[in-house]
Amino acid sequence: MLDLELRVANEVAHMRTIRVALDRFGHEHQLPAEVLMSLQVAVDEVVSNVIKYAWTSGGTHEVLLRVGLRSDHVEVEIVDDGVPFDPRDPPPPRAVGLKAGGSPIGGRGLRLVHRLMDEVDYARLGNQNRLRLRKNIVKSVQGGVPS
Protein backbone atom coordinates (compact mmCIF):
# COMPACT_ATOMS: atom_id res chain seq x y z
CA MET A 1 0.00 0.00 0.00
CA LEU A 2 1.76 3.11 -1.10
CA ASP A 3 -0.06 5.56 -3.31
CA LEU A 4 0.66 8.53 -1.09
CA GLU A 5 3.18 8.98 1.69
CA LEU A 6 3.50 12.17 3.62
CA ARG A 7 5.67 13.09 6.59
CA VAL A 8 4.80 16.23 8.51
CA ALA A 9 6.12 17.82 11.68
CA ASN A 10 3.84 18.02 14.71
CA GLU A 11 2.48 21.51 13.99
CA VAL A 12 -1.17 22.31 13.35
CA ALA A 13 -0.09 24.47 10.40
CA HIS A 14 0.71 21.25 8.54
CA MET A 15 -2.91 20.11 8.63
CA ARG A 16 -3.47 22.16 5.50
CA THR A 17 -0.64 20.29 3.75
CA ILE A 18 -2.42 17.03 4.54
CA ARG A 19 -5.79 18.34 3.34
CA VAL A 20 -4.31 19.47 0.01
CA ALA A 21 -2.47 16.16 -0.49
CA LEU A 22 -5.62 14.13 0.24
CA ASP A 23 -7.61 16.28 -2.17
CA ARG A 24 -5.04 15.67 -4.87
CA PHE A 25 -5.12 11.94 -4.13
CA GLY A 26 -8.92 11.96 -4.35
CA HIS A 27 -8.93 13.80 -7.65
CA GLU A 28 -6.22 11.66 -9.20
CA HIS A 29 -8.15 8.51 -8.33
CA GLN A 30 -11.59 10.05 -8.92
CA LEU A 31 -12.85 9.06 -5.50
CA PRO A 32 -16.55 9.73 -4.86
CA ALA A 33 -17.02 13.04 -3.03
CA GLU A 34 -18.53 11.30 -0.01
CA VAL A 35 -15.51 9.01 0.34
CA LEU A 36 -13.05 11.89 0.06
CA MET A 37 -15.00 14.01 2.55
CA SER A 38 -15.13 11.14 5.06
CA LEU A 39 -11.38 10.64 4.75
CA GLN A 40 -10.72 14.35 5.18
CA VAL A 41 -12.84 14.56 8.33
CA ALA A 42 -11.39 11.38 9.87
CA VAL A 43 -7.76 12.16 9.06
CA ASP A 44 -8.14 15.72 10.34
CA GLU A 45 -9.46 14.39 13.65
CA VAL A 46 -6.83 11.69 14.10
CA VAL A 47 -3.77 13.68 13.03
CA SER A 48 -4.74 16.82 14.93
CA ASN A 49 -5.20 14.66 18.05
CA VAL A 50 -1.74 13.17 17.53
CA ILE A 51 -0.24 16.64 17.14
CA LYS A 52 -2.00 17.92 20.27
CA TYR A 53 -1.62 14.98 22.63
CA ALA A 54 1.01 12.47 21.49
CA TRP A 55 4.13 14.22 22.77
CA THR A 56 3.61 15.42 26.30
CA SER A 57 7.14 16.81 26.63
CA GLY A 58 6.91 18.89 23.46
CA GLY A 59 9.69 19.09 20.89
CA THR A 60 9.66 18.44 17.17
CA HIS A 61 8.35 15.08 16.02
CA GLU A 62 7.09 13.51 12.85
CA VAL A 63 3.72 12.11 11.83
CA LEU A 64 3.69 9.68 8.92
CA LEU A 65 0.60 9.35 6.73
CA ARG A 66 0.24 6.60 4.13
CA VAL A 67 -2.78 6.32 1.86
CA GLY A 68 -3.48 3.45 -0.52
CA LEU A 69 -6.29 2.76 -2.96
CA ARG A 70 -7.54 -0.81 -3.33
CA SER A 71 -10.19 -2.14 -5.69
CA ASP A 72 -13.04 -1.45 -3.27
CA HIS A 73 -11.62 0.65 -0.46
CA VAL A 74 -9.13 3.26 0.62
CA GLU A 75 -6.74 2.49 3.44
CA VAL A 76 -5.02 5.14 5.53
CA GLU A 77 -2.22 4.47 8.00
CA ILE A 78 -1.09 7.06 10.50
CA VAL A 79 2.13 6.44 12.42
CA ASP A 80 3.65 8.39 15.30
CA ASP A 81 6.10 7.69 18.11
CA GLY A 82 4.14 9.48 20.80
CA VAL A 83 2.52 8.12 23.95
CA PRO A 84 0.41 4.98 23.39
CA PHE A 85 -3.17 5.79 22.42
CA ASP A 86 -5.69 3.22 21.25
CA PRO A 87 -8.66 4.94 19.59
CA ARG A 88 -10.63 1.77 18.89
CA ASP A 89 -12.94 2.31 21.82
CA PRO A 90 -13.98 5.94 21.90
CA PRO A 91 -14.93 7.25 25.33
CA PRO A 92 -18.66 7.57 26.04
CA PRO A 93 -19.93 10.99 25.00
CA ARG A 94 -19.98 13.59 27.71
CA ALA A 95 -22.32 16.51 27.93
CA VAL A 96 -21.57 19.05 25.26
CA GLY A 97 -20.73 22.61 26.19
CA LEU A 98 -17.95 24.43 27.90
CA LYS A 99 -19.81 24.35 31.19
CA ALA A 100 -19.51 20.55 31.15
CA GLY A 101 -15.78 21.04 31.66
CA GLY A 102 -12.88 19.81 29.59
CA SER A 103 -13.28 19.45 25.88
CA PRO A 104 -16.31 21.30 24.53
CA ILE A 105 -16.80 18.58 21.93
CA GLY A 106 -17.19 15.92 24.64
CA GLY A 107 -15.25 13.11 22.89
CA ARG A 108 -17.47 13.24 19.82
CA GLY A 109 -14.63 13.69 17.37
CA LEU A 110 -13.51 10.10 17.72
CA ARG A 111 -17.06 8.84 17.50
CA LEU A 112 -17.36 10.71 14.24
CA VAL A 113 -14.29 8.85 12.95
CA HIS A 114 -15.90 5.52 13.82
CA ARG A 115 -19.15 6.51 12.13
CA LEU A 116 -17.43 7.69 8.95
CA MET A 117 -14.96 4.82 8.56
CA ASP A 118 -15.70 1.15 7.90
CA GLU A 119 -12.79 -0.04 10.04
CA VAL A 120 -10.60 1.54 12.68
CA ASP A 121 -7.67 -0.61 13.70
CA TYR A 122 -4.72 0.06 15.98
CA ALA A 123 -1.43 -1.53 16.93
CA ARG A 124 1.42 -0.47 19.18
CA LEU A 125 4.60 -1.66 17.49
CA GLY A 126 7.76 -0.90 19.42
CA ASN A 127 7.53 2.77 20.30
CA GLN A 128 5.04 3.56 17.54
CA ASN A 129 1.30 4.01 17.34
CA ARG A 130 -0.02 2.63 14.05
CA LEU A 131 -3.61 3.54 13.32
CA ARG A 132 -5.29 2.13 10.25
CA LEU A 133 -8.52 3.49 8.79
CA ARG A 134 -10.50 1.78 6.05
CA LYS A 135 -13.20 3.43 3.96
CA ASN A 136 -15.14 1.25 1.55
CA ILE A 137 -15.96 2.64 -1.86
CA VAL A 138 -19.60 1.87 -2.49
CA LYS A 139 -20.25 1.58 -6.19
CA SER A 140 -23.23 3.43 -7.58
CA VAL A 141 -25.97 1.88 -9.72
CA GLN A 142 -24.43 3.52 -12.80
CA GLY A 143 -21.30 1.43 -12.49
CA GLY A 144 -19.39 2.96 -9.65
CA VAL A 145 -16.22 4.90 -9.40
CA PRO A 146 -15.29 6.53 -12.69
CA SER A 147 -11.93 5.39 -13.97
List contacts with other proteins (CB under 8 A): 12-13, 15-16, 19-20, 23, 26-27, 33-34, 36-37, 40-41, 44-45, 47-48, 93, 96-99, 103-105, 108-109, 111-112, 115-116
Query: Are the CB atoms for 59 and 28 separated by under 8 Å?
Result: no
Q: How far is CA 115 from CA 7, 9, 71, 80, 127, in A?
A: 26, 28, 22, 23, 28
CB of 85 to other proteins, least distance (A): 16
Nearer to other proteins, 98 or 125 (CB): 98
Residues near 32 by Cβ (< 8 Å), separated by ≥ 6? 137, 138, 140, 145
Nearer to other proteins, 19 or 73 (CB): 19
Nearer to other proteins, 5 or 34 (CB): 34
Query: Are the CB atoms for 6 and 23 separated by under 8 Å?
Result: no
Nearer to other proteins, 97 or 125 (CB): 97
